[in-house]
Chain A
Amino acid sequence: MTDAIRRSDALKGWRSSAEHEAERREVEEEDRRLAEERKKIVRDGPKLKGEKLAARLHATWRRPRGFIGWLATVDHKEIGRRYIVTALIFLALGGVLSLAMRVQLARPDQNLIGAARYNELFTMHGSTMMFLFAVPVMEGVAVFIIPLMLGTRSTAFPRLNAFSYYMYLFGGMLLWGAFLLNIGPDIGWFAYTPLSGPQFSPGKRADIWAQMITFTEVSALAAAVVLTTTILKTRAPGMTLARMPLFAWAMLVVAVMIIFAMPSVALASSFLISDRLVGTQFYNHFEHGDALLWQHLFWFFGHPEVYIIFLPATGFVSVMVETFCRRPVFAYPVVVLALISTGILSFGLWVHHMFATGLPRVGYSFYTAASMSVSIPTGLQIFCWLATIWDGRPRFTVPMLYVIGFIFTFVIGGLTGVIIASVPLDLELHDTYFIVAHFHYVLIGGAVFPLLGILTYWYPKITGRMMSETLGKIGFWMILLGFQLTFFPMHFSGMLGMPRRVYTYPAGLGLELPNLLSSIGAFVVAAAVLLFVINGVVSLYRGAIAPPNPWDAASLEWATSSPPPVYNFEHIPVIESRTPLWDQEGEFPVVTGLRVDDKEMLLTTVVAAAPDLREPVPEASLWPLIAAIATAVLFVSSIFSPWAIPFGTIPAAIALIAWFWPKEIKRHPEPVIT
């Protein structure tokens, strides 16, 4: 754009024809004038800093006022907050369903909830927790914090980020709207064919599930591209890959995993919809399709999915352990390599979900070995955290308590995981409550505990206030003990042979006590989550005002005010170590020279993080929302007619073109007034 000199160099290679020549001269003329104007352009620097700079940046970066501006925002902090709040609402909804199931299972032979409704409940619970809570909440936290951690002003592709949120929201509304209209899916969160196929699931329930998948896949993939590019290209100068915060490493691995895993379930559900809608035969055994094709495609996504949920949580743990032990995480390269190898190994495990389908002997051995081997990098990470705690001076604040609760609970879940990686034991325990116990230990212990810890930890950065420590500690002990009470007895009900996904059980098999304990525990967990929410809401108004760095942490998100201004940082920081805020003595080094009169961010090189480009940042826009609405209309109506696809594509394409129509660079710079 305004790079006049570079452009006029490039112009020398032009071919001449009268028309182009005239146009070329005109452009050159303007460039020359702009080169003069450019000298007057507003930049931050010794002459422009402090409040004067903040006012200028605020005027440039703030979004349009009012409701339209609120819908059009591309500020990663606003989008991240919406992601987190929406995901927590879905957590609550999914949690209410689990309470309903636990009431039904509290005593044998109950009929409070019938078999059909119960099928809907566990389907909605699993689908909500996996697709609408666990993955989006991790993305939401990352979208909020990653640019702050990296010392930049925006994510890459901020409009794609907004689109991703809206797609997620609409997918969630589709699923829950359908449930409330009594056409919610009832085929399990895995929707196995042939149960979910046209023969055994007439009606629209299975289609609703499959299209909800499409929404959340589009959303997660968009967020993954945003995060990958942000992490690789927008880090502060000097933040080489080897100095990157471990949470950023975790999210980089997760984003790449999403990119490889999610297309699998998108493909699987597209095949399913087309089997149901236009009569393809992918999963129809009678026309030489195969129901196992579904299982392969689903679990090729489904197993990495577990690590897509777990690895961000290990990033949270690394962040909290570092801050609260006031020591860099022990053996940083080992933790990074563990993250990467977990990501790679997780793609070689999917068949362990299919041991009971019958496999060649070699397959059994290979996938057992692979499943056991993934515990090695995870174990390494745990030892690194333990060494950090051992060598540091731990402060047992609420976030740190969640770290301890995580290590304790997750290790139990990890050990039962090694148990069921073994084929003979898996065949015995497959589809029993032992499995339910196992994956709740690894998912709640491994992901929800660190999440609650990190929300407490970053709450001051998000809201500007501190959460109550007292309420936080009460809540922590309630959820830790309530959790064990709920899920530990499930190991026993599973070993006694109680199958999953069945709405009741007969008396006299020894299942009464473990089930009653589980049901009591579920209410304790629910009360603890409610207490967390109350703490969050009350602290919003009554919490102590947070200073910029309340926990005395080391990473860049604490180098700006709490909450950060819309432009994140007045100057772009320069990084000289892995723990910049601890190692900095005296003045903080920054670079100068980004525009102040136009939204602009700094791009750096991928490995060395050397300054590379000035990148204009898109303005707020309604087009991502309109594109999401058009896509939603397309997806939802395609449940009813295949013609929705060609016709629905037209408005979606128009919205996308309008969205991507380039921003004209401000050609008339605002002069410096000094």
Chain B
Amino acid sequence: MIGEVRFTDSVADLPTHKFGPSSLTWWGIIGFMVIEGAAFGLTFAAYFFLMGHEQGWPPVGRAAPSVLAGTLFTIIILLSEIPNTMIKKAAHEADVPTIRVLMPVIVAIGVVLLIIRGFEFNSLNVRWTDNAYGSIIWALLLLHTSHILTDWMDTVVLWMLMRTRLAYEGRRLVDVDENSLYWRYVWLLWIPIYLMIYWVPRL
């Protein structure tokens, strides 16, 4: 500062971590969620825009995607919110043992989901090169898969971190909290995509 200063309050006793909107991490995560949400919203818009050009949806002469793999995926990803909520709660309570038990569970669920996702791609009954319908269906599924994959990698790294003594740092618990928040976002996004890929073509 230029010139004389007058000392008012001290911030020395402020904490170095808090959960939720106080933390920078929360704002960063929300920022990227909104960015991705905008991209998904526009992809949805493109889907309905292209749908308006067709006589039928799926286009005449094509079968709608088979629902089995996608429905199984949906059930598992919705159930994954149970351990996810438990981890979020454990992070708030600084309950490191519970986090250490549940992180590998979440990672394993991610592996199962990615395997089922492979079968989903196989059950679309259309290739991305066939027509604009195929292109947009594949785009939706790929975009969502990229989110599953990045969150899965993030969770693996976080799991490794939580196995070390860094797990006791409050800021790492905030990371666990935000990772759970992001997972919620990933499965919430899936619901409209599931409907658009599997059920809108059956209307």
Contact = CB atoms under 8 A, between A and B. Distances in A.
Contact of A10 (B7, B11, B93): B93
Chain B interface size range? 35 or more
Contacts of A262: 35
B119 interface: no
A279 interface: yes
Contacts of A15: 95, 97-98
Given A264-B38, A613-B16, A662-B161, A281 B10 contact: no
Contact of B31 (A6, A225, A281, A572): A225
A278 B94 contact: no
Given A278-B128, A290-B53, A588-B5, A157 B24 contact: yes
Nearest to B127: A279
Interface stretch (A499-507, A590-598, A624-632): A590-598
Nearest to A9: B94
Interface stretch (B73-81, B106-114, B169-177): B169-177
Contact of B138 (A280, A548, A587): A280
A293 interface: yes
The 4 closest A-B CB pairs, nearest first, are: A593-B12, A10-B94, A280-B135, A225-B31
Interface of B: 1-18, 21-24, 27-28, 31-32, 34-36, 38-39, 42-43, 46, 49-50, 53-54, 59, 93-98, 128-136, 138-139, 153, 157, 161, 165-166, 168-172, 175
A592 B11 CA distance: 6
Contacts of A14: 94-97
A522 B128 CA distance: 48
Contacts of B96: 14, 20
A221 B37 CA distance: 13
B28 A570 contact: no
Interface in A217-272: 221, 224-225, 228-229, 232-233, 237, 259-260, 262-264, 266-267, 271
A224 B31 contact: yes
A233 B38 CA distance: 23
Contacts of B130: 281, 287
Interface stretch (A174-182, A456-464, A603-611, A633-641): A603-611
19 contacts: A14-B94, A20-B97, A229-B31, A262-B35, A274-B128, A282-B139, A287-B131, A561-B2, A570-B1, A572-B11, A591-B11, A603-B24, A611-B9, A613-B17, A613-B22, A613-B23, A614-B11, A662-B161, A664-B166
Interface string A4-17: 00110011011101
Interface of A: 1-3, 6-7, 10-11, 13-15, 17, 20, 23, 27, 41, 43, 45-46, 49, 156-157, 160, 221, 224-225, 228-229, 232-233, 237, 259-260, 262-264, 266-267, 271, 274-275, 278-282, 284, 287-290, 293, 296-297, 300, 548-549, 559-561, 569-574, 586-594, 602-603, 605-606, 611-616, 653, 657, 660, 662, 664-665
Contacts of B16: 1-3, 613-616, 665
Nearest to A572: B11
A45 to B, nearest CB: 6
A554 to B, nearest CB: 14
B169 to A, nearest CB: 5
Nearest to B8: A589
A280 B129 contact: yes
Contacts of A11: 94
Contacts of B93: 10, 13
Contacts of B53: 288, 290
Contacts of A287: 130-132
